[in-house]
Amino acid sequence: MPRIRRIAVSTGGGDAPGLNGVIRAVAISAHWRGWEVLGIRHGYRGVIEGDADGVVLLDRAAVRGIGHLGGTILGSSNRGDPFNYPVQRDGKTIAENVSSRIVRWFEDRQVDALVAVGGDGSLGIAARLGQAGVPRVIGVPKTIDNDLAGTDVTFGFDTAVATATDALDRLHSTAQAHERVMVVEVMGRYAGWIAVHAGIAGGADVILIPEIPFDMDRVCEKIRRREARGRHFAIVVVAEGAKAVGGEMVVKSDGDEFRGHARLGGIAERVAEEITRRTGKESRSLVLGHLQRGGSPVATDRVLALRFGCAATRFLAETDAGGMVSVRRGAVELVSMEEATRHLRTVPLDSGVLQTGRDLGLCFGDEPAGTFLPGAPNSPG
Ligand code: F6P
């Protein structure tokens, strides 16, 4: 096994609470092994652009007291794919493959491995960098969306769910005071994990997710049934990627060559308008947006981030394999990058968490909510 002397860390894609914990864990566990740790700033931009401050030494002092902080001390970027990097040519922005600059940097600086912290996009890029000549690549799964295959959980998710749940708790009182329907849009891209978990934790009445195209008749039926039972308000949680049966996801802007994914957003407003139109109930919509990515990680995300960071250096020290660190059935293991990025992990339709919601009488916009007859004693309405 080749001896490791120096490693690099990068954080790419949308930030997630816990990134600083991973950086701290990688740095400290690498220092114990006598390795030097370099942090690449803003994804790979620090190396690609060769800025004076594009790479920072992550010594013990640099990672002191950062574990509880949101964001990332290295910065991040979701327009920094080195295989499709925006460069200026003749006054125009064009895409260029600049990955060889990164490979050369690893050679010149004699950096033995890369720890790439990212979601599916960033990990796919890291895997390609490995194929292009970066010596060893270990991925660390990060995303509030919780949609990475190959791991049961990603850090950042629990914090996003806690933030969204807190928002739902607060919205209950104002919804009740004004007898309104509050429609809350949460993040999650093409997966409904945040919506389902926050919706159940926060006592939502309706949860709409990308995995279950919704029927407005069902949504309104649920609201009317509550109304009939004297519950004159309702909380609807809608994932940004949710869509009506036969409809399309609502996008703010399409993806481009530098940023693969479309920017989703706007479904809550449409659902709220439709509820008012069909039921006559006053409604309001709001988009929680990047609040869900900000702030300090909750304790479970802090622990997960530290576990992942330490496991990344442990795998570098004890094996000569590459791959992504993951947690499966509670244990940390290394899975291939291919497995981790092959497909998105969406909410299975037979998952326990969906079943729990159905047993509680929540409406997912498909079948009639609850198993009780409308109007029956103790019907969940
Ligand atoms: O993937 C994380 C995420 O927060 C998604 O939930 C959301 O759709 C997207 O990133 C937003 O990206 P941006 O920060 O570019 O607006």
| Tens digit of each residue's pLDDT (9 = 90 or more) over 268-283 | 999 999 999 999 999 9
Residue 219 is part of a domain; what is its CATH number?
3.40.50.460
Would you say the CB of residue 78 lies under 6 angstroms from ligand 1?
Answer: yes
Let me know if residue 273 belongs to a domain: yes
- Residue 379, pLDDT above cutoff 60: no
**CA 183–ligand 1 middle distance (angstroms):** 19
**CA 111–ligand 1 middle distance (angstroms):** 31
Average pLDDT over residues 237-252: 97
| Tens digit of each residue's pLDDT (9 = 90 or more) over 201-214 | 999 999 999 999 99
Q: Whose CA is nearest to atom 16 of ligand 1?
A: 263
Let me know if residue 369 belongs to a domain: no
Torsion of CA 354, 355, 360, 366, to 10 degrees: 60
- Residue 53, pLDDT above cutoff 70: yes
- Residue 331, pLDDT above cutoff 60: yes
Would you say the CB of residue 293 lies under 6 angstroms from ligand 1?
Answer: yes
- Atom index in ligand 1 nearest the CA of residue 259 equals 15
Closest C-alpha among 160, 143, 147 to residue 197 = 160
Let me know if residue 177 belongs to a domain: yes
Let me know if residue 378 belongs to a domain: no
Range of the domain at 118: 6-155+297-341
From 187, 254, 291, 345, mutation site for ligand 1 pocket: most ligand atoms within 8 A of C-beta: 187
Q: Are the C-beta atoms of 257 and 84 separated by less than 8 Å?
A: yes
Position 115 scores a pLDDT of 98
Q: pTM surpassing 0.85?
A: yes
Position 381 scores a pLDDT of 46
- Shared domain for 213 and 353, answered yes or no, is yes
| Tens digit of each residue's pLDDT (9 = 90 or more) over 91-146 | 999 999 999 999 999 999 999 999 999 999 999 999 999 999 999 999 999 999 99
Q: Whose CA is nearest to atom 13 of ligand 1?
A: 14
118/38 Cα distance (integer angstroms): 17
- Sequence-distant contacts of 167-174: CB under 8 A, at least 24 apart: 167/202, 167/288, 167/291, 168/198, 168/199, 168/201, 168/202, 168/203, 168/204, 168/235, 168/237, 169/202, 169/203, 171/235, 171/286, 172/202, 172/203, 172/233, 172/235
Position 373 scores a pLDDT of 45
pLDDT, averaged across the chain:
94
- Shared domain for 126 and 166, answered yes or no, is no
Would you say the CB of residue 145 lies under 6 angstroms from ligand 1?
Answer: yes
Share of the chain above pLDDT 70, in %: 96
Let me know if residue 239 belongs to a domain: yes
Position 372 scores a pLDDT of 46
Let me know if residue 368 belongs to a domain: no
- Shared domain for 76 and 119, answered yes or no, is yes
- Residue 378, pLDDT above cutoff 70: no
Lowest mean pLDDT among 252-256, 262-266, 366-370: 366-370
- Residue 2, pLDDT above cutoff 80: no
The model's confidence at residue 258, banded by pLDDT at 50, 70 and 90, is: confident
- Shared domain for 56 and 150, answered yes or no, is yes
Rounded to 5 degrees, φ, ψ at 40 are -90, 130
- Shared domain for 176 and 66, answered yes or no, is no
- Shared domain for 205 and 354, answered yes or no, is yes
Q: Are the C-beta atoms of 213 and 245 separated by less than 8 Å?
A: yes
Let me know if residue 252 belongs to a domain: yes
Instruction: Give how many domains the chain has, as a whole number.
Output: 2
| Tens digit of each residue's pLDDT (9 = 90 or more) over 218-233 | 999 999 999 999 999 9
- Shared domain for 258 and 326, answered yes or no, is no
Active site residues per annotation: 145
- Shared domain for 134 and 16, answered yes or no, is yes
The model's confidence at residue 12, banded by pLDDT at 50, 70 and 90, is: very high
| Tens digit of each residue's pLDDT (9 = 90 or more) over 56-69 | 999 999 999 999 99
- Atom index in ligand 1 nearest the CA of residue 265 equals 8
250/268 Cα distance (integer angstroms): 9
- Shared domain for 128 and 17, answered yes or no, is yes
233/205 Cα distance (integer angstroms): 10
Distances in Å between the alpha carbon of 142 and those of 146, 230, 243, 326? 8, 43, 25, 10
Let me know if residue 379 belongs to a domain: no
Tokens at 11, concatenated: 């954080």
- Atom index in ligand 1 nearest the CA of residue 292 equals 4
- Atom index in ligand 1 nearest the CA of residue 78 equals 15
| Tens digit of each residue's pLDDT (9 = 90 or more) over 274-315 | 999 999 999 999 999 999 999 999 999 999 999 999 999 999
**CA 187–ligand 1 middle distance (angstroms):** 7
- Residue 196, pLDDT above cutoff 50: yes
**CA 16–ligand 1 middle distance (angstroms):** 10
Would you say the CB of residue 264 lies under 6 angstroms from ligand 1?
Answer: yes
| Tens digit of each residue's pLDDT (9 = 90 or more) over 25-43 | 999 999 999 999 999 999 9
Rounded-to-5 percentages of helix, strand, coil across the chain: 35, 20, 45
- Shared domain for 22 and 135, answered yes or no, is yes
Residue 304 is part of a domain; what is its CATH number?
3.40.50.450
159/68 Cα distance (integer angstroms): 12
- Shared domain for 63 and 174, answered yes or no, is no
The model's confidence at residue 369, banded by pLDDT at 50, 70 and 90, is: low
Position 374 scores a pLDDT of 47
- Residue 79, pLDDT above cutoff 90: no
- Shared domain for 78 and 194, answered yes or no, is no
